[in-house]
Structure 1
Amino acid sequence: MMSCGSPPTEVEDEYEKLVIRMNPPRVTVDNTSDIAATLVKVDSANKFGSLLEVVQVLTDLKITIRRAYISSDGEWFMDVFHVVDHEGNKLSDSEVINRIEQSLGAKALRLQSSKSSVGIQAIAGHTSVELIGRDRPGLLSEVFAVLTDLKCNVVAAEVWTHNSRMASVVYVTDGATGGPINDSDWLDKIKVLLRYVLKGNRDKRSAKTAISKGATHKERRLHQIMCADRDYNSEDESLEEEEETSDRNKPFVTVENCIEKEYTVVNVRCKDRPKLLFDTICTLTDMKFVVFHGTVITEGPEAHQEYYIRHLDESPVSSEGERQRLVHCLEAAIQRRNTEGLRLELCCEDRVGLLSDVTRIFRENGLAVSQAEVSTRGSQAMNVFYVMDASGNPVQSHTIEAVRNEIGERILHVKDDSSSTSRDSGRLSFGNMIRSRSEKFLYNLGLIRSCS
């Protein structure tokens, strides 16, 4: 594999394009080898970020990855994914093949870091607003209220909270024209007012603003924003004590050097959930690590991931400080997306100010939003909120009923995931009884088990 420690020269860039043209990605779908899942096999010329691109495509298609086997020594990578659709069935749609091939054939987007707490970026169709600040009850309501007051329409958003920090990527349009916002004075006003809201009277880490650049994948950008904000470090002692009481939910991450093979071996064990593989691969990639070999297996409700990694210059982790940082960053990446609270789904006709009104009702009824995903399909708003009370406790049923009565019982629904979780657990356990050919292959290479 070509070393990518520094930006590629024009010759290297053209060589990479030539290799891809001569050896286009090969994607095959196998529905016969595994009775419980579809095997998606990807062979392609290797370049830094190839693995993340594949996982990102599968994740965006809402495909669940039950098992994965990764091998990328040399200038070629071969990945095998055991996948099912969102209902736990084998795949039958050929769209996954086209999407992966298109992704691998395109030039990887270059990462661009941003130290700002509020970044604004005008891209096709909308303007992207990035936020980072200290989390508190009612913060999201204040953010949406400011955007509504400034005549902005929110068409999509993702909100994460972790370790008392809140990060969000919000896509807005001009409320009058429906197009992106390009007026510099308008953008400056948005930044100033949102920074004022984020900073509040306690946050000392949200004083800077800047205009972001690039067009990074939304969820990957959230990981980058929160990691740059060092959300993997607790802000106060009370939060650390709170975390100690919930160690049973904490992911188990180990990082050890395998001296004989000059790899660093990363092991992750945690509760399985959607998009888990994306979160770990995204973190390793953004920390400039290359995954040379890897195995991902879900056992019932638990997931086990093992990666053999090196730096871009092909050196393993070299210090205890670096090892600890890698552990903390992986733990944080897993925990950021862990959903806490009651899931509420809002489905209705979209309008300017909808989110401001809904989150205001949440705030007035003492609800705090721990995570949110906002999207618009045509004229319909399709929004998901995870809510708790202002103290972080489960929401009382009478509070939810009051909120539903005010917003509308027909458009705000309470979602219970417990039945689907138990149903999927049975399927996963059954699927794991079968040892696939790809697993045997990696086992024979000695790359499934960690070095002692």
Structure 2
Amino acid sequence: MAKVCWPYFDPEYENLSSRINPPRVSVDNTSCEDCTLVKVDSMNKPGILLEVVQVLTDLDLTITKAYISSDGGWFMDVFHVLDHQGNKITDSKTIEYIEKVLGPKSQASAALNTWPSKRVGVHSLGDHTAIELIGRDRPGLLSEISAVLADLRFNVLAAEVWTHNRRIACVLYVNDDSTSRAVDDPSRLSAMEEQLNNVLRGCEEEDEKVARASFSVGSTHVDRRLHQMLFADKDYEGNKLVDSSSQGFKPEIKVERCEEKDYSVINVSCKDRAKLMFDIVCTLTDMQYVVFHANISSDGPCASQEYYIRHKDGCTLHSEAEKERVIKCLEAAIHRRVSEGLSLELCAKDRMGLLSEVTRILREHGLSVMRAGVTTVGEQAVNVFYVRDASGNPVDVKTIEALRQEIGHTMMINVKNKVHVGKSKESGPAGGSAGWAKTSFFFGNLLERFLA
């Protein structure tokens, strides 16, 4: 057989374009009176839009407007952003971080390691074991999961828990209580996996194939990983949206065709909230769609987002079945992060079994956790729980007071009884509007009060 000779290919050639035309990032506080403009120009590459949006949302910045263009091999974005208090970005460390992580010498993974406000994610925690759980949700399940970990002497450093459509997805970061290091003993890991699987499956035989505990490898962003887990679990099928029409939460999603440029156009209109754009772009990316152009705007409490997309293979959305699937998946992505009802924000000195203790108390008071975020900052643990009663109804005042009496003497507790879906430009802490709501909990002020 004749020997086949291939021409030499310099591996550095792949990076030549980006080295000749490095990314340009500017943070502009002068062009607009009421917001900061973040402008990003660079060579186009797969996933770059999600990467930029992820950086901005991880800083708890609100994107009020955005103009996206990535056709023709060049990526040009303009984002209008505000901090979590509704002000321009004036903090020099935040500006420096944006320019560094998105700029020509960006080392995204290294930068995420050093950003102090980055809470939950494999980049921020160092020596730990990451656990992923997916299964059927039921009252008290988080309490059972945390009890298993406490019994096996695993300390929970951080966690994110989402529930949607009667399914639960968790990503937990744990270490050994005695060594404060990741657990590498196969027998202990096997015992943990077996017990967590038993808890997830409960008494339902049908859950044996759809409930599982596994150990995470790699460095996927935690919110994106939760979207991926629930998407793979097909939580969008039979999607039953929360009946919140009075608050305007039900999204209106349309899929149309742009004949002139051969794009599929997705229009999303819904209640504005924090991280809305991230959730939509994340879902489109994981469904293998490429965003070529986009216009994002929020008008008071409402958001309007328009995306011009094609599938990764260059095709548009032709069949009605594919269009319907995209609509259902985006509806699910929008609602996974929506949490109505009571928000409990707890701060206490970290100790072994703290999460198990707190979730046990919530269960004993008849409360179900709809969503949760757990963080450890130094020696302090900051936990946020969005809860309703076991029937899915709002929590009554007597239950709230009973919780205060039981745990108020050992930890700081902050109770909010509002709809947690994000914030609008017209309502915020400065204005004191009764409509103020938020998705992510900014633990800095609570932690400062606790340490004072």
TM-score, L = length of structure 2: 0.83
Task: Give the corresponding residue for 1:37.
Answer: 35
Give CA deviations for 1:308-363 in whole Å, capped at 9, x if unaligned.
01122322123222111111111100000001220110011111100000000000
- 1:192-231 alignment runs, 5 A limit: 192-202=194-204, 203-204=206-207, 205-208=209-212, 210-231=214-235
Superposition deviation, residue 22 in structure 1: 2.1
Task: Give the corresponding residue for 2:450.
Answer: none
Task: Give the corresponding residue for 2:168.
Answer: 166
Mapped pair 1:76 → 2:101: no
For 1:426 and 1:139, the matched residues in 2 are separated by 35
Give CA deviations for 1:134-159 in whole Å, capped at 9, x if unaligned.
11110000000001011000010000
Of stretches 92-101 and 145-154 in structure 1, the one that deviates more from structure 2 is: 92-101
Task: Give the corresponding residue for 1:154.
Answer: 156
- 1:96-135 alignment runs, 5 A limit: 96-99=95-98, 101-103=100-102, 124-135=126-137
Partner SS, residue 222 of structure 1: helix
Task: Give the corresponding residue for 1:413.
Answer: 414
For 2:254 and 2:10, the matched residues in 1 are separated by 35
- 1:228-377 alignment runs, 5 A limit: 228-234=232-238, 240=240, 249-377=249-377
Give CA deviations for 1:388-444 in whole Å, capped at 9, x if unaligned.
0000000011101111211125511113557998884258xxxxxxxxxxxxxxxxx
CA contact (8 A) 2:369 2:385 kept: yes
Question: What are structure 2's unaligned runs of at least 5 residues?
Answer: 1-7, 110-121, 429-452
CA contact (8 A) 2:339 2:419 kept: no
Report % sequence identity.
Answer: 55
Change in CA separation of 1:407 and 1:245 when aligned onto 2, cut-off 3 Å: closer
Q: Output the amino acid matched with 2:183.
A: I
Change in CA separation of 1:96 and 1:329 when aligned onto 2, cut-off 3 Å: farther
Superposition deviation, residue 166 in structure 1: 0.6
Of stretches 181-190 and 206-215 in structure 1, the one that deviates more from structure 2 is: 206-215
Question: What are structure 1's unaligned runs of at least 5 residues?
Answer: 1-9, 110-119, 428-452
Change in CA separation of 1:193 and 1:56 when aligned onto 2, cut-off 3 Å: same
CA contact (8 A) 2:169 2:229 kept: yes
Superposition deviation, residue 16 in structure 1: 3.7
Task: Give the corresponding residue for 2:434.
Answer: none
For 1:229 and 1:314, the matched residues in 2 are separated by 26
CA contact (8 A) 1:27 1:97 kept: no
For 1:265 and 1:228, the matched residues in 2 are separated by 24
Q: Output the amino acid matched with 2:46.
A: F
Change in CA separation of 1:57 and 1:12 when aligned onto 2, cut-off 3 Å: farther
CA contact (8 A) 1:266 1:308 kept: yes
For 1:419 and 1:209, the matched residues in 2 are separated by 29
Of stretches 153-162 and 32-41 in structure 1, the one that deviates more from structure 2 is: 32-41
Partner SS, residue 249 of structure 1: coil
For 1:51 and 1:157, the matched residues in 2 are separated by 26
Task: Give the corresponding residue for 1:383.
Answer: 383
CA contact (8 A) 2:101 2:108 kept: no
Give CA deviations for 1:348-390 in whole Å, capped at 9, x if unaligned.
1111100000000000000000000111111111111101000
Change in CA separation of 1:389 and 1:78 when aligned onto 2, cut-off 3 Å: same
Q: Output the amino acid matched with 2:26.
A: T
Mapped pair 1:26 → 2:28: no
Superposition deviation, residue 21 in structure 1: 2.1
Partner SS, residue 188 of structure 1: helix
Task: Give the corresponding residue for 1:90.
Answer: 88
For 2:212 and 2:418, the matched residues in 1 are separated by 39
Superposition deviation, residue 30 in structure 1: 1.3
Change in CA separation of 1:228 and 1:364 when aligned onto 2, cut-off 3 Å: same
RMSD: 2.7
- 1:43-62 alignment runs, 5 A limit: 43-62=41-60
Task: Give the corresponding residue for 1:144.
Answer: 146
Task: Count residues with an aligned counterpart.
Answer: 403
Superposition deviation, residue 107 in structure 1: 8.2
Superposition deviation, residue 33 in structure 1: 1.8
Of stretches 201-210 and 398-407 in structure 1, the one that deviates more from structure 2 is: 201-210
Change in CA separation of 1:426 and 1:374 when aligned onto 2, cut-off 3 Å: closer
2:177 is aligned, of 172, 175, 178, to: 175
Q: Output the amino acid matched with 1:66.
A: T
Give CA deviations for 1:235-263 in whole Å, capped at 9, x if unaligned.
8xxxx4x7578595321111122222110
Q: Output the amino acid matched with 2:22.
A: P
TM-score, L = length of structure 1: 0.83
Change in CA separation of 1:422 and 1:134 when aligned onto 2, cut-off 3 Å: closer
For 2:215 and 2:183, the matched residues in 1 are separated by 13
Of stretches 303-312 and 418-427 in structure 1, the one that deviates more from structure 2 is: 418-427
CA contact (8 A) 2:272 2:423 kept: no
CA contact (8 A) 1:70 1:78 kept: yes
Change in CA separation of 1:85 and 1:288 when aligned onto 2, cut-off 3 Å: same
